[in-house]
Amino acid sequence: MNKTSTELDIIKYIYNELNQEEKAQINYQTIVSPKTLELMCGLRNVKDSLDNIMLLPKDSIINNIKNFSKSFNLTKHGFVK
Amino acid sequence: MLKTELSDSCLVSLYVKGNEEALSVLIDRHKSRIFTTIYLIVKDKYIAEDLLQDVFIKTIKTIKCGKYNEQGKFLPWIVRVAHNQAIDHFRKAKRNPRITLQDGSDIFNCLKFSENFTESNNLTKNSVQYIKKIIHELPEKQREVLVMRHYMQMSFQEIAKSTKVSINTALGRMRYALIRLRKKIKTNKIAYE
């Protein structure tokens, strides 16, 4: 397994896109290769960091949307005659 | 009060029948993911909020007019609508807006953090802001794949199809993006230490 294909597989691994056999192969690699283990941990940390930047819009924006839905009327808005 | 454990599909069905609270639950459940996806593409909080409204208005009209396809899943569908809106805006604007406030402060400081960001998280608020900044600095193609995979939860196969590249190219872009972020996070950590 070359370096690039291992890195691509690790990315698929952390995003849960490998089958059981491929996962086992990567697990084995992390045991025999400290560099693979380090890369796996590093990329997992990045993934965790990305999870922490979920943003929220202003409440007024959400209220506008909810109010639009309540006032939206198919007949009134010309969708039904 | 609607139970929040109801699936998206159930909530959409209730909303079709006129239950406005069902839409409320759907919005509250997914607003953060959709807003983050848009924001990371357009890089402007105010434009992202406008586009978020457009996305939900389109969604409301689609569902109320009976045009929503029940076979698909709600989140992938709406996130794709959001992505298309953001890309359309990006193409129309043909620019890469960077907003600085009148007092010279960074627009990132105005963003409200979600409940995900709590004291129990390992990251400090400064770290979160730094990560947002370095995501914005990624080359466009890499940022696109990162947003599609991480925030839109599309598979690499779907990303490859959507961006008309091979799966290895999509994976390669993600690899460069994550490794670049990792290096910058590492360097930043060392700098702080």
Q: What interface predicted TM-score (ipTM) does this complex get?
A: 0.79
B128/A53 touch (CB, cutoff 8 Å), yes or no? yes
Confidence at residue B92, expressed as pLDDT on a 0 to 100 scale: 76
User: Residue B121 pLDDT > 50, yes or no?
Assistant: no
Mean pLDDT, chain A, whole residue set: 87
How far is the C-alpha of B31 from the C-alpha of A46, rounded, in Å? 23
pLDDT (average), residues B179-191: 78
**pLDDT for position A54:** 81
CB pairs under 8 A between A and B: 116
Residue B7 has pLDDT above 80, yes or no: yes
Q: Is the pLDDT of residue A40 over 50?
A: yes
Which range, of A21-25, B27-31, B66-70, averages the lowest pLDDT? Answer: B66-70
What integer pLDDT is reported at residue B103 of this predicted model?
46
Q: Which stretch of A43-52, B103-112, B143-152 has the lowest confidence by average pLDDT?
A: B103-112
Please report the pLDDT score of residue A79 as a whole number: 57
The answer to whether B30 and B80 have CB atoms below 8 angstroms apart is no
pLDDT at residue B39 tops 70: yes
More confident of the two residues A23 and B99: A23
State the pLDDT at residue A38. Answer: 92
Whole-angstrom distance, CA of residue B176 vs CA of residue A49: 16
Indicate yes or no: CB of A51 within 8 angstroms of CB of B116. Answer: yes
Q: Which residue of A has its CA nearest to B108?
A: A55
CA torsion through residues B174, B147, B167, B153, sign: positive
Q: What phi and psi values does residue B181 have, to the nearest 5 degrees?
A: -65, -40
Establish if B143 touches chain A: CB-CB under 8 angstroms: no
CB contact under 8 A, B131 and A57: no
pLDDT of residue B177: 95
List pLDDT tens digits, range B8-22: 999 999 999 889 999
- Identify the band that residue B118 occupies on the pLDDT scale cut at 50, 70 and 90: very low
B153 phi-psi bin (left φ>0, alpha ψ -120 to 50, beta other): left
Cβ proximity of B126 and B82 under 8 Å: no
Average of pLDDT values for A22-43? Answer: 92
